[in-house]
Every structure is written in structure tokens, then in C-alpha cells.
Amino acid sequence: MKALLISPVFHGYWSAFAAALEALDFDVTVHCYDAPGVRNALAHRAPGSALAARVRATATDAAVRSLAAADPDVVLVVKGDALGTNWWQALAQSRARSALWLYDELGRMRYDDATIGSVDRVFSYSSGDARALRGRGIDADVLPDGFDSLTPFRARWSNRTSLIGARYAERERLLRVLSDAGEAVEAYGREWSRSPWDVLRTARWRGAGVPAHGDIDRATYYGVMAGSTATLNIHGDGHDGFSMRTYEAPGVGALQIIDRADVAQHYEVGVETLVFQSDDELVDHVRRSRRDERWARGIREAGRRRTLAEHTIVHRMRKVREAWLS
């Protein structure tokens, strides 16, 4: 079957989705609707501006052309809220079976029920959003994020606890808690970086006060997580679904320390991953992970086994395929 993947660039995850579909014997064409550039960056910072409207129209037209050129049997749209009405109308009028996968809460996106209901099946990483959509008569189901098991990586061994991702206030605070407790830490991502270009484009004029690095690609940060003493996964408030990191960290054999006890629906807490509910508990976990290598190794190995058995992106794409074929 011919599949068209319509995806944001977002950390190159489109390549993981495409590879997973190809592993399931789809002939995949990829169209990234938000290729990076100055115009797109400025439009993102001013969503109601005339520039944003022009960027949206351009992205929509390009997506419609990709649909016509690919003539697919099935279409998977990832996120997709940057695309305008013409795209959704073209998709509904095509012969292709369609699915929409949302890796963010609906409250942070621009969708109305008419648009989202025009897709054959909606998947969301948020169980609350999926439940709300079903209550409004839209065919929706939960599809969690997952681990890209098809990308090779090499562990980058370190005695530090790592954090990879955006610079939220709570993440910054917790890194300083660990640092003040004498634990070595490091953060990765453009908002942490102190390079002049990253400071300029993020307007993060003040450093976080911890060792920091810029953006790294997925294979590299898989290696960083795998080789760290432990790696932090801090969601904070306002997230119902679990981030990609939830599955990536144990997937690469890292020792994940996460701030959400409800991760128990996916992993056995204390056996396959660690949860903290206070600053002291976080410090205790990191100290034990550094001192008790046998205990830490057992959690790493168990988390990796569970992930490869249940939580890869190939597993997620199998569920999408089932929806297309039903």
C-alpha cells in the first residue's frame, strides 16, 4: 500500500514514523509541512499575524500538492494544526483512508470539531482528549508516543545525570537541586545553550547555572541518555499524555527518573523505571543510581526489555495500520 506521511519537522521524528511504516511494508512518501526557516520561526512567534497567515497558506498549498502527486492509499497526518481548510477538504475528498496523530493536548492546538471529525480516525497521546473527542461523536483512540527502535546509537558514558529537552522552570529548578546536592548534571537543548546564536534566537539571556549544551540529533541524545548515570524526564503541569522521552529513555537502556506516578500504566515503577515525588526522593534516586550499579543496571535492562516488547514506534504504527484496514 502507498502511504503519505504529513508531518512537522519536529526533531526529525518524521523519519522514525516513515521507517516504522516501511517496516510494516508500506511504500512511504513523506511531506514535512513546516520546513525550518526564518519566515516559519517568525510566524510561530506571532500566530495571529499576516505573515503567519501567509506561511499557513503556503504550507497548506504544498501539502495539497503532495497529496495529488503521491496518490496514496492511506494518509497519516501528525499534529497538522498548521494546515488550513483546503488541506482537510482535499484529504476528505481523496480516495485515501486517513488518520491523524496528535502528540500534544488539543488545548494547545487550533482545531474545531468539523475539521478533526473529517478524518477517518483520530489518535491522541492524551487519554483525556481521546475520551472527550469520543464524547463529541468523533472516532478517536489513544495512541501513546514511542521509542524509535530503528535508529542506531552509541552510548556516551558519563558520570552525570542528564536532561534533554526544553528549558521549563521546573526542569531548571530540579537540575539546580541536584547540583546543589553535589550531583553532577548536564542539560541539552537550544534553550539551555550559551552559544551566542542560541542565546539570540531563544532570548534566554540568563544561563541556568548548570553545564549546558545545544541541540543534538536523536541518535546522539539516545547515546547521552544511555550513558548517563541517570536521565530525567520532567513533564510538569498541564500534560496528560507522556512524552517521547518516557519510552526513549528506557528504550535505549537508560535509567529514567520521571515525575509522574501514573507512568505505572506503561512501566513497573521501581523495576523498569523510577518515579520521584519530592526533591529529596529525586536526590536519593540519583545518589543510589551512582553508588549501586547492580541495582541501576537491573532497572535499565528491565525497562529496555519492556520497551522493545511493547512501546516502539513500530508498535504504534501497527495500531494505525489496523485502523486503516478495518
- Pair 171, 165: CB distance under 8 Å: yes
Compute the distance between CA of residue 4 and CA of residue 29 in angstroms, rounded to an integer.
5
DSSP code per residue over 59-115? HHHHHHHHHHHH--SEEEEES-TTS-HHHHHHHHHSSSEEEEEE-S-GGGS---HHH
Compute the distance between CA of residue 238 and CA of residue 250 in angstroms, rounded to an integer.
23
Predicted TM-score (pTM) above 0.95: no
Compute the distance between CA of residue 258 and CA of residue 206 in angstroms, rounded to an integer.
26
Q: Is the CATH number of domain 2-144+313-325 3.40.50.2000?
A: yes
Between the CA of residue 71 and those of 66, 86, 304, what are the distances in Å? Answer: 8, 17, 38
Q: Is the CATH number of domain 161-310 3.40.50.2300?
A: no
Q: Do the first three CATH levels of 2-144+313-325 and 161-310 match, i.e. the same topology? A: yes
Report the relative pairing of strands 212-213 and 97-102 from DSSP bridges. unpaired
Domain ranges of the chain: 2-144+313-325, 161-310
Residue 38 confidence (pLDDT):
45
pLDDT digit of tens for each residue in the chain (326 aa)? 999 999 999 888 999 999 999 999 999 999 999 865 545 655 555 566 776 778 888 999 999 999 999 999 999 999 999 999 999 999 999 999 999 999 989 988 889 999 999 999 999 999 999 999 999 999 999 999 999 999 999 999 999 999 999 999 999 999 999 999 999 999 999 999 999 999 998 899 999 999 999 999 999 999 999 999 999 999 976 678 999 999 999 999 999 999 999 999 999 999 999 999 999 999 999 999 999 999 999 999 999 999 999 999 999 999 999 999 98
Compute the distance between CA of residue 40 and CA of residue 77 in angstroms, rounded to an integer.
19
CA geometry: angle 254, 255, 259, nearest 5 deg: 120
Long-range contacts: 296-301, Cβ < 8 Å, 24+? 296/229, 296/230, 296/255, 298/271, 299/255, 299/270, 299/271, 299/272, 299/273, 299/274, 300/250, 300/253, 300/254, 300/255, 301/253
Give which of 224, 249, 219 is closest to 235, Cα–Cα: 249
User: Residue 8 corresponds to which cell in the numbers above?
Assistant: 512537522
